[in-house]
Structure 1
Amino acid sequence: MNVEYIVESIELIKEAMPDSLEEFKLMGLAKDGIYKRLEFAIQALLEGLSELGRKREIIALSYSDLIRSLEEKGILPKETAEKAEFLAQLREVLIYDYDLMNDEIAFRNMEEYIEYVRELLEFLRGVEG
């Protein structure tokens, strides 16, 4: 898991986020960059969870299966698992259904997305450390 890249992505997103929804909608490629950095940060976290799963001999066909297995084995707390599942689903939209992204919802919830990334990162750091 590339911790520095995740932290850098979070900081770049925070720096780039404008003050208003109107500004966000008009950002063009810069807005796409925000979404891409969020996607990359989530992907790095999911890779960290995959690594954790391999160490615990968990075999999963999807990130959802992995998260569920980690929770069932008591490795991933329920609340953290719910946030990880949300991020995994958000990643899927960012990658495969980008046209479904709603700028208004994303603008309103970006801080929450970033907080979920931070919480999962802290969890993984605690498990690794």
Structure 2
Amino acid sequence: MHTFTPTKIPAVMQKFSLLLLLALIVLACGGGEDAAGEAPMAKKSTKEPAAKEINVKKIWKVRCIACHGLYGDMGTNGAANLQESTRDLDYRINIIANGSENGVMTAFGDILTEEEIKAMAEYTMTFKKE
């Protein structure tokens, strides 16, 4: 009488398992057919793409609000009160890009694009008290 040993899987079962795994991978990737409701690929335009609109409020909420607050006047961790600041745009661009000399302000030059940095500096100017 032959006894089955669970540690050895017959070669046929190994091949079947491999085929089943490959089939599942193909199905998971969509099998190359368009899913229902999925738009076909658009033709490439020869026109230059429009400049990406910068969402300064989103960047502010993600990067700046923790220290400067919603209205730029919170001053957590020694952050400047932007409502009272008299610094010009160029100074603000430099601080956002390179951080402050004393290390209080984080440098965002490697995180944000030049356009985003300028837009953020301009946005901080809107906090000034009139």
Q: Indicate the structure (1 or 2) with the bigger Cα radius of gyration.
A: 2
TM-score scaled to structure 1, two decimals? 0.28
TM-score scaled to structure 2, two decimals? 0.28
Greater relative contact order, per chain length (Cα 8 Å cut-off, separation 6+): 1
Greater share of residues in helix: 1
